[in-house]
Amino acid sequence: MAATAAILFLVYLFNLSSGYVLIDDNENLDEILTLPSEYSIKAERIDLIADLKLPMELWYSTEINRSRVDVYDGMVKRYYYWGEDGAMGSDGTVYMAYPKWTEKEGHTIFCSKTDMYQETPVDAFPAEEEYVYADDMYIASFTRGFIFEQWLPTSGSDIERCRQVLQYLIQMVPNAENVDTSKTYHEGQTVDVWKFTEDDDDTRKELVLYSHRTERGEDVPVQIEKKEFNTMLGSLEKHVIFNYDQFNPLFCEEDVDAEKEGLCEWTPDDFEGHMKMLHPAFHNDLGVAFNSFKKHHARNYQNKKEHDMRRDIFHKNWKFVVDHNRQNLGFKLALNHLSDLTPAERAHMSGGRRSPNPSATVPFPHSERQVGDIVTQIPEEYDMRLQGIISPVKNQDKCGSCWTFATAAAVEGALARLDGRILDLSEQSIIDCTWEGVCEGCNGGWPKEALKHIMKHGIPLEEDYGGYLNENGYCHLENVTEVFKIRGFTLVTPLSVSAMKVALYKYGPVIVTIQNNDAFNFYRSGVFYDPTCVDDYVGHAITIVGYGSRDGTDYWIVKNSYGEQWGEDGYMLLSSSNNNCFVLDEPYYPVV
């Protein structure tokens, strides 16, 4: 019992996991990481944060510039060819074979291919340029086959103390008497330890690679552990382990021949087509995907540091999208032009704020009882887009001007209901000229204040005032000959679904401010419902242009200001249940 207590105390003292502990001095070893250039190997990717395990088999050859990745025992196969001209003269071609089911034919294997833009081959091993051989004292413990590590000072007294402790612990572990404490072992074989660390702003990335040196002088990884920390919050945000097994240096060209999958059809040479062929679990697919993203969105970064930062953000969002879509929650997400932005940059775009004292110049004209009567007489579904009174979707870009776009869209719709004309009003004029009180242009503002401004000063056409700048500009309303004013604005009865439907059918569009998050930012299709929305001061202003129902779920039709590439051609179907994301807290419509 005393021995057990001593062991537990020592394990606690050194913050080590359960199991036996070994020291690796690794003297007189070649400190250059030499990864194999041709091989086949089996692997599993374990995401400890998402609790997901992905079995893989990989083939790789720099001799013939080809590689292949299978997942789930070959259920899905990807072939990568470099140096072959694709349909658009790209760096190569990626082929993907996967099962497809139809009621007529049942399961068949479908093969598609697309151009690939990446200069280096897809390798199973992530080779960081700055891997450092671990020549400091290294403590490794093994728990359920996973390796956890802790670096200790290497002063003489500490080394001797650790050796004594470790020797004692090893004596207490059955069948460990023949273990050499001068080496690190994994799965019964001696391994070398390599480490890569990178600090960038509030993120710290750590990679540890455990490799076995072959008689050919190649370092074959047996495990790679990746961790990513948010140093500001002190949280572990990413923890992935790759376990490798059954390494084979012999390579058969037939194994990477995509032609055996049959006739492969070309998919569109665009970002969306590429993303159907790739997966965020494969670290080398990241290079292909990010290059396609940069080309599609015309991204040019200042330097390598920013490039790598944007790539890591893109990768994190890609995994978020894939993990969400596999849950089948009723709506789908997709990567878009926001995928490489930091959370702070996306939050800056959400510049719509709710007033602490909601008020209006024109009272809502219906009592709760009247609303109950009217809502039974109006259509069950109503879409203003079908009435020809909604202007095209616009893109606010990185300026936090959503409050101006939502307001201008509502005024455009109200004026179109009046005389049938669809006007293109100037959001830039609201940014430049509405600085009374709390509004701060691209730093955010209140739709209510924008409505007050249009009541008093009016809003001009964009062609008269000048185009959207995506920046704060000089107010020059005095140079515009014609402006459009509203008589006032109305606050729809808050938290009332029926009142909102009545307002939309009789008076809309309606401006609302919601709490948006990553799921909202990457929305693609379906009825959006997110119970994780948090009611804080940051919000996003949108315009509601109708309502409807799909598969028994009621929704609002949202016109957003992220461009037509976002959502369903710039629109979202937002669930009307449970005041989702606080959509009914403060709804306004302009009175013309």
Give the residue numbers annotated as catalytic, written as ranges.
Answer: 402, 540, 560
Give kind and range of the element (H or E) at residue 413: helix 402-419
DSSP state of 197: E
CA 204, chain centre distance (Å): 18
Give kind and range of the element (H or E) at residue 59: strand 52-61
Rounded distance between C-alpha atoms, residue 518 and residue 497, angstroms: 25
**Phi, psi for residue 227 in degrees, rounded to 5:** -130, 145
For residues 435 and 449, the answer to whether their CB atoms sit within 8 Å is no
Rounded distance between C-alpha atoms, residue 65 and residue 465, angstroms: 56
For residues 561 and 405, the answer to whether their CB atoms sit within 8 Å is yes
Rounded distance between C-alpha atoms, residue 274 and residue 95, angstroms: 10
Rounded distance between C-alpha atoms, residue 422 and residue 420, angstroms: 7
Closest C-alpha among 49, 522, 87, 80 to residue 282:
80
Q: Which residues contact 152 (CB under 8 A, 6 or more apart)?
A: 14, 136, 137, 139, 158, 162
**Strand, coil or helix: 83:** coil
Rounded distance between C-alpha atoms, residue 482 and residue 448, angstroms: 23
What is the torsion angle, in degrees rounded to the nearest 10, for the CA atoms of residue 91, residue 97, residue 98 and residue 104? 120
For residues 360 and 491, the answer to whether their CB atoms sit within 8 Å is yes
| Sign of the torsion angle spanned by Cα atoms 169, 175, 181, 187 | negative
Q: What angle do CA 240, 241, 245 make, to 5 degrees?
A: 150
Range 176-179 contact pairs with CB under 8 angstroms and sequence separation of 24 or more: 176/20, 179/20, 179/22
Amino acid at 222: V
